[in-house]
């Protein structure tokens, strides 16, 4: 885990998502993706500030099977899993305020 962010791979994805006690936001990204680099520090801040939500990352170049399974066509794509099911899909880089607003329903204060 780097900066409170869980790194997921093909071998850890299913178990991590299914066993998470709290909502988990999975960032599908790639090393070469400019918008992915813009959103990465914002996700790090959210991971540090919001203990009731887990932030995870999947590198689509290293784990293309997971990206294909969830029809990730553009990156960054954020999928919010709650109790193992996809509850929300966010495509594209967003600012911190907008991202927190989109995730508000999954944060402990609003549950």
pLDDT confidence of residue 110: 53
Task: Choose the catalytic residue: 36, 55, 75, 80.
Answer: 36
Q: Does a structural domain hold residue 111?
A: no
Domain limits at 44?
Answer: 5-105
Task: Identify the pLDDT of residue 1.
Answer: 46
Residue 98 lies in a domain: yes
Q: Is 33 an annotated catalytic residue?
A: yes
Per-residue pLDDT 10s for the chain (111 aa) are: 456 899 999 999 999 999 999 999 999 999 999 999 999 999 999 999 998 999 999 999 999 999 999 999 999 999 999 999 999 999 999 999 999 999 999 987 654
Domain annotation covers residue 78: yes
Place of tokens 């885990």: 1
pLDDT at 4: 83
Q: Is 73 exposed, middle or buried (0-12, 13-18, 19+ CB in 10 A)?
A: exposed
Torsion angle defined by CA atoms of residues 57, 58, 60 and 65, in that order, rounded to the nearest 10 degrees: -160
Count of the separate structural domains present in the chain: 1
CATH of the domain at 83: 3.40.30.10
Tokens 């540090």 — which residue? 48
Q: Which of 33, 66, 99, 103 is catalytic?
A: 33
Is 81 contained in some domain? Answer: yes
* pTM to 2 decimal places: 0.94
Known catalytic residue at 86: no
Backbone angles phi, psi at 21, to 5 degrees: -75, -15
Residue 110 inside a domain? The answer is no
């Amino acid at each position: 885990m780097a900066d409170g962010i869980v790194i997921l791979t093909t071998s850890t994805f299913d178990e991590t998502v299914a066993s998470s006690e709290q909502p988990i936001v999975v960032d599908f990204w790639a090393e070469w993706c400019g918008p992915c680099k813009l959103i990465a520090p914002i996700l790090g801040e959210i991971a540090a500030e919001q203990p009731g939500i887990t932030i995870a990352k999947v590198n689509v170049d290293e784990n293309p099977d997971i990206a294909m399974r969830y029809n990730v066509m553009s990156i960054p794509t954020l999928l919010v899993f709650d109790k193992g099911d996809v509850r929300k899909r966010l495509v594209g880089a967003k600012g911190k305020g907008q991202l927190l607003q989109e995730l508000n329903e999954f944060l402990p204060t609003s549950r």
